Chains A and B, each alone.
Chain A
Amino acid sequence: MAAARPRPAPRGGETHKRLKAAVHYTVGCLCQDVAEDKDLQFSKQTIAALSEITFRQCENFAKDLEMFARHAKRSTITTEDVKLLARRSNSLLRYITQKSDEITSSSVEQKEKKKKKSSAAKGRRNSEEQKQLKMTESEDSNMA
């Protein structure tokens, strides 16, 4: 059942340290924003604790998402898995669904733009195809 997959070195690896440092920096920036907004101070220990919490929570999220994707017999994690992860809290689920809808709509727009570009590029070919279609239709009508 549980296949032993090669995981990245969890403890003490160089990448692990770098990831933690990156998380710590980002948490520090976010804490600065909150401190300016709410007019309060964060001690260094607090920021370190928050970054540690974030890192471990990310580990949990990763494992759960992996499990959900495997449960749906997929090997790729999709937005559905993320929604299932956030299902426990209603407000979070609403937020995530809203965000995913925004992302899907923007991606659809991008696809449409791409299509327009590609159609502009393929315009000549399409017109030729249409001509050919018209020709075949006329032939068909002649045949009939």
Chain B
Amino acid sequence: PLPPLLAKPIAKSSRASQRKTSEPRVARSLIKKIFSHYVKMPVTRDAFSIVETCSERYFKQLSNDLEAYTNHAKRKTVEMADLEVLMRRQRLVTDKMPLHVLIERYLPLEYRKLLIPVAVRGNKVIPCK
């Protein structure tokens, strides 16, 4: 006798579709890693979930602000200047703490190379503009 036909698992397909429709997020593990790196103190699970919600809201606020600053400069593309205005407004960038210093302090080398032109041997400047 033939084995009874297994019902097709619908759950998987629905889950996949849900995953597609869900809005993009910063990975939970990444947030956790960064937060615990700077806290240097044990943090409960609930606190981490709150931090995650905060970072979501932060990105929403960030996009709104960037949109406003880009429109203010009568552009439709967000540029480096808009980000610098944003960080000045957040008092992260000041006269004593320029953006380049922040980049050098907090970003890994490969990203720093993309943002800050570096002179290398053979009369070259990376990135080439």
| A positions within 8 Å CB-CB of B | 1-2, 64, 67-68, 71-73, 80-81, 84, 87
Contact = CB atoms under 8 A, between A and B. Distances in A.
B48 interface: no
Main secondary structure of the interface of A (DSSP, over half): helix
A68 B95 contact: no
Interface of B: 68-69, 72-74, 81-82, 85, 88-89, 95, 98
A84 B72 contact: yes
Given A2-B95, A64-B89, A67-B88, A73 B73 contact: yes
Contacts of A81: 72
18 contacts: A1-B98, A2-B95, A2-B98, A64-B88, A64-B89, A67-B85, A67-B88, A67-B89, A68-B85, A71-B69, A71-B72, A71-B73, A71-B81, A72-B72, A72-B74, A81-B72, A84-B68, A84-B69
A101 B82 CA distance: 27
Nearest to A4: B95
Given A2-B95, A73-B73, 13 more contacts: A1-B98, A64-B89, A67-B85, A67-B88, A68-B72, A71-B69, A71-B81, A71-B82, A72-B73, A80-B72, A84-B69, A84-B72, A87-B68
A83 to B, nearest CB: 9
Contacts of B74: 72
Nearest to A84: B72
Nearest to B91: A60
B63 to A, nearest CB: 14
A73 B85 CA distance: 13
A2 B99 CA distance: 11
